[in-house]
């Protein structure tokens, strides 16, 4: 599998193996950039784990809707970024922010909010261009997001992943995330989280 070569040295990244890479740049994602990412959602893996070609458009349309409460947490913002390696778009990452992290148990016997981490939090979802996977962009994107100034108010970032999604699980682990609970929840999801430092 091809690896990315360093373009030039910048500040060393303390994230061990990735010291030789220049991190991707995250820039706010705009509606006119939809044609750049929509083809990534034709990919079966993207469709299986994230959604189909409508997904990015729905994310953009949601941007202007009023913030509300979701599963026991108050929304505080919605952020979406395109990740660039120089002038090449390589990935997309979406982060909804909340006033706390609330663990929700749904279903007919569900108890609603079953635990709370009382810290401003962000819930992330991400995709790498299918043609550019396994080159380190996924991990880079997450590590760069951890430093995004737009998310300066957020302490905890987390992503919900189905355990069968090996690529995403490995991506999270390499980015220093850990399961909040290793047992899948009522939707079959494990949430991986990491505090911003």
Ligand X SMILES: CC(C)(COP(=O)(O)OP(=O)(O)OC[C@H]1O[C@@H](n2cnc3c(N)ncnc32)[C@H](O)[C@@H]1OP(=O)(O)O)[C@@H](O)C(=O)NCCC(=O)NCCS
Residues that bind ligand X (CB under 6 A): 45-46, 49-50, 125-128, 133-139, 159, 161, 165-168, 170-171, 174
CB half-sphere exposure, 174, CA atoms < 13 A: 17
In angstroms, what is the minimal distance from the CB of 165 to ligand X? 5
Report the residue number, 97 or 128, with the smaller CB distance to ligand X.
128
| Alpha carbon separation from 73 to 64, 116, 169 (Å, rounded) | 19, 9, 24
In angstroms, what is the minimal distance from the CB of 192 to ligand X? 9
Question: Do 82 and 29 touch, CB atoms closer than 8 A?
Answer: yes
In angstroms, what is the minimal distance from the CB of 168 to ligand X? 4
In angstroms, what is the minimal distance from the CB of 67 to ligand X? 22
Q: Diameter of the chain by CA atoms?
A: 55
Q: Which residues of 12-29 are buried (b: 16+ CB within 10 A; e: fewer)?
A: ebebeebeebbbbebeeb
In angstroms, what is the minimal distance from the CB of 62 to ligand X? 17
Report the residue number, 20 or 111, with the smaller CB distance to ligand X.
20
Report the residue number, 19 or 134, with the smaller CB distance to ligand X.
134
Closest residue to ligand X: CB criterion: 138
The residue whose two tokens read 């108890």 is 111
Report the residue number, 97 or 123, with the smaller CB distance to ligand X.
123
Question: Do 170 and 51 touch, CB atoms closer than 8 A?
Answer: no
Report the residue number, 144 or 168, with the smaller CB distance to ligand X.
168
């Amino acid at each position: 599998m091809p690896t990315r070569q360093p373009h030039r040295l910048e500040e060393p990244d303390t994230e061990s193996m990735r010291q030789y890479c220049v991190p991707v740049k995250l820039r706010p994602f705009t509606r006119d950039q939809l044609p750049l990412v929509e083809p990534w959602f034709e990919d079966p893996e993207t469709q299986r784990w994230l959604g189909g070609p409508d997904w990015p458009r729905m994310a953009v349309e949601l941007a202007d809707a009023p913030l509300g409460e979701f599963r026991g947490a108050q929304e505080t913002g919605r952020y979406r970024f395109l990740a660039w390696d120089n002038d090449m778009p390589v990935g997309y990452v979406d982060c909804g922010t909340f006033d706390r992290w609330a663990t929700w148990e749904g279903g007919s016997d569900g108890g609603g909010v079953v635990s709370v981490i009382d810290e401003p939090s962000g819930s992330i979802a991400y995709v790498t261009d299918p043609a550019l996977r396994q080159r380190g962009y996924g991990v880079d994107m997450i590590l760069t997001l951890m430093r995004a100034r737009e998310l300066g108010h957020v302490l905890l970032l987390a992503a919900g992943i189905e355990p069968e999604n090996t690529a995403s699980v490995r991506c999270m682990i390499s980015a220093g995330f850990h399961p909040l609970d290793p047992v899948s929840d009522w939707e079959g999801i494990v949430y991986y989280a990491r505090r911003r430092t």
